A and B are shown apart, each in its own frame.
Chain A
Amino acid sequence: MSDKALEIENLYVSINKSIILKDINLNLDKNDFLAIIGPNGGGKSTLLKTILNLIRPDKGNISVFGKNPKEALNIIGYLPQNTFFDLNFPINVFNVTLMGRYNGLFKNYTQNDRKAVINALDEVSMLEYKDRQISELSGGQMQRVFIARALAREPELLLLDEPTASVDPKMQKSFYELLLKLKEKMTIILVTHDVGVVCEYVDKIACLNHILFYHGIPEGSADAIGKTYNCPIDIIGHGIPHRVFKKHE
């Protein structure tokens, strides 16, 4: 297995003929914790979906631990930005998490899969809720279950798309502490708007607005960046101003 957790070279992606990602290059080592920030429509989710083989790139290369995205599905855990599902769906927490263990047609879930689910639920402190129907959970608890579903794959690379959007502010701290714990075991990419908070926890930061600016280790101390909470874009500045919102056409 390659040492590089993720290598992206000259990646171009377009959707409906408009270019979303342009010449993206990115390298991550094992156990890196990267935050990608950037405006809405800047291509953050598209980048994650391309890594997940949901979107085919126009050109360029992606390699996850030396595997192409299609082969890498088994070692990637993913938390989508929004999970649209019917609250009345007749399923409990355990069985939602068990879906994370899916491993191909005609392969029934084994005792091992069940163990992995128990561990994943334990990791996100949701084990005591395992028999609850999914609609009986709060927004934050549901988010934890969906993280457990990603963790149940025992991934090497964890992709989180706006994970704190539906979590109330009080819960965010414990959520990020959970990610710090997970970082010991895997590489994490977190896509977020939440620049101020995220700088306290991540190792590396990148801004994405069709083009990716990689900043490596967040500049200055966490405190200094924390102060930039209101207008983080200028502080991370590198000569090219980012726009928080897209320019009007």
Chain B
Amino acid sequence: MLELLQYEFMQNAFIAAVLVSVACGMVGTYVVVKKIVSISGGISHAAFGGIGLGYLIGINPIVAAIPFSIFSALSIGFINKRIKISEDTAIGILWTTGMALGIIFINLSPGYAPDLFSYLFGSILTVPDSDLTLMLILDIVIIIIVFLFNREFIAISFDEEFSKTIGIKVEPLYLLLLCLVALSVVVLIKVVGVILVIALLSIPAAISMQYTSSINKVMTFSVIIGLVLNILGLWLSYIFNLASGATIVIILGLTFIISSLITKYW
């Protein structure tokens, strides 16, 4: 396995796996305990609109996805609290509208979008240095926000009503949490693509929760589990010449099943 690291694309892939694990472990823990998996799925699919916009105006699609996914996170949070439709419906609307916008933007952009597939399904083997730098910056932002607002995020995830009575501004913090999800979606797009992002945001935390009842430990375990499984998936995809994003997700899914069986019957 080590000789693989001679190749530069492999080095980048490993760095990407590390960067992705940080985002998916930390933010994924909130996603799972706050039960916003579907909302996060909506945000990640809507981010495709940003990718299309990037093609249209000729900038790096990942960069264009940042404001776009933050905007969709804020609008879903806002619709959720202010307009009388069910959260479920809001997610459905955002999810599809975002993707549709992406398709139209790509239609409108001149020429052919060669690496479109990599944004849909991920391509950890082709992450350029510039994207790694962007992922690193986003990771740092995520770590800072988690460090500053961890207590509030835990409180609103556990019991929103009580959080209000102790003076926590629930609504802005909920929106901040959704923005955090939006940022991690952007970090993850290159590796697994918008369609599979939600696996990385939910499965590592779901596995960790089977082994500890401390949320901070869940976070640490999720980062480690994410890292190990991402690298395992990457390695297997290389050996068997399979799509890397899909292989990683299947490894995550299998590990979850095995882990569930172990904790249930051991």
Among B149, B152, B158, B167, point to the contact of A85 (Cβ < 8 A): B158
Q: How far is the CA of A202 from the CA of B264 in the complex (A)?
A: 48
Q: A83-B159, A99-B158, A106-B148 are in contact. Are A89 and B164 (CB under 8 A)?
A: no
Residue on A nearest B29 in the bound complex, by CB: A90
> DSSP majority for the A interface?
loop
The answer to the question of B218 belonging to the interface, with a C-beta cut-off of 8 Å to chain A, is yes
Chain B residues, CB < 8 A from A88: 209
Closest Cβ–Cβ distance, residue B107 to chain A (whole Å) = 43
Which positions 112-138 of chain A face chain B at CB distance < 8 Å?
133-134
Chain B residues, CB < 8 A from A86: 33, 35
Which positions 159-173 of chain B face chain A at CB distance < 8 Å?
159, 161-168
Q: How many A-B residue pairs have CB under 8 A?
A: 74
Closest Cβ–Cβ distance, residue B4 to chain A (whole Å) = 36
Q: How far is the CA of A88 from the CA of B162 in the complex (A)?
A: 18
Q: A86-B33, A88-B209 are in contact. Are A99 and B162 (CB under 8 A)?
A: yes
A89 touches B33 (CB 8 A): yes
Q: A54-B164, A78-B162 are in contact. Are A105 and B209 (CB under 8 A)?
A: no
Q: How far is the CA of A74 from the CA of B168 in the complex (A)?
A: 12
The answer to the question of B212 belonging to the interface, with a C-beta cut-off of 8 Å to chain A, is yes
Which positions 212-232 of chain B face chain A at CB distance < 8 Å?
212-215, 217-218
Q: How far is the CA of A109 from the CA of B154 in the complex (A)?
A: 14
Q: A83-B162, A99-B162 are in contact. Are A73 and B214 (CB under 8 A)?
A: no
Most buried by A among B151, B164, B167, B168: B151
Closest Cβ–Cβ distance, residue A118 to chain B (whole Å) = 18
Among A89, A102, A105, point to the contact of B166 (Cβ < 8 A): A102
Q: How far is the CA of A109 from the CA of B150 in the complex (A)?
A: 12
Closest Cβ–Cβ distance, residue A26 to chain B (whole Å) = 19
Chain B residues, CB < 8 A from A91: 154, 158, 213-215
The answer to the question of B157 belonging to the interface, with a C-beta cut-off of 8 Å to chain A, is yes
> DSSP majority for the B interface?
helix
Q: How far is the CA of A76 from the CA of B210 in the complex (A)?
A: 36
Closest Cβ–Cβ distance, residue A51 to chain B (whole Å) = 10
The answer to the question of A39 belonging to the interface, with a C-beta cut-off of 8 Å to chain B, is no
Chain B residues, CB < 8 A from A108: 151
Closest Cβ–Cβ distance, residue B170 to chain A (whole Å) = 10
Closest Cβ–Cβ distance, residue A135 to chain B (whole Å) = 8
Chain A residues, CB < 8 A from B209: 88, 90
Chain B residues, CB < 8 A from A96: 158
Closest Cβ–Cβ distance, residue A153 to chain B (whole Å) = 7
Chain A residues, CB < 8 A from B217: 90
Chain B residues, CB < 8 A from A92: 213-214
Closest Cβ–Cβ distance, residue B102 to chain A (whole Å) = 34
Chain A residues, CB < 8 A from B151: 99, 102, 108-109
Chain B residues, CB < 8 A from A80: 161-162, 165
B167 touches A84 (CB 8 A): no
Residue on A nearest B214 in the bound complex, by CB: A90
Chain A residues, CB < 8 A from B159: 83-85, 99
Closest Cβ–Cβ distance, residue A76 to chain B (whole Å) = 7
The answer to the question of A44 belonging to the interface, with a C-beta cut-off of 8 Å to chain B, is no
A102 touches B154 (CB 8 A): no
Closest Cβ–Cβ distance, residue B167 to chain A (whole Å) = 5
Q: A90-B209, A90-B214, A92-B213 are in contact. Are A102 and B35 (CB under 8 A)?
A: no
Residue on A nearest B149 in the bound complex, by CB: A105
Closest Cβ–Cβ distance, residue B215 to chain A (whole Å) = 5
Chain A residues, CB < 8 A from B164: 52, 54
A99 touches B157 (CB 8 A): no
The answer to the question of B155 belonging to the interface, with a C-beta cut-off of 8 Å to chain A, is yes
- 23 CB contacts below 8 A, A to B, read A52-B165, A54-B165, A78-B162, A80-B162, A83-B159, A83-B162, A84-B161, A85-B158, A89-B33, A90-B209, A90-B214, A90-B215, A92-B213, A99-B155, A99-B158, A99-B162, A99-B163, A100-B166, A102-B155, A105-B148, A106-B148, A108-B151, A109-B151
The residues of A with any CB-CB pair to B shorter than 8 Å are 52, 54, 73-74, 76, 78, 80, 83-86, 88-92, 95-96, 99-100, 102, 104-106, 108-109, 133-134, 149, 153
The residues of B with any CB-CB pair to A shorter than 8 Å are 33, 35, 148-149, 151-152, 154-155, 157-159, 161-168, 209, 212-215, 217-218
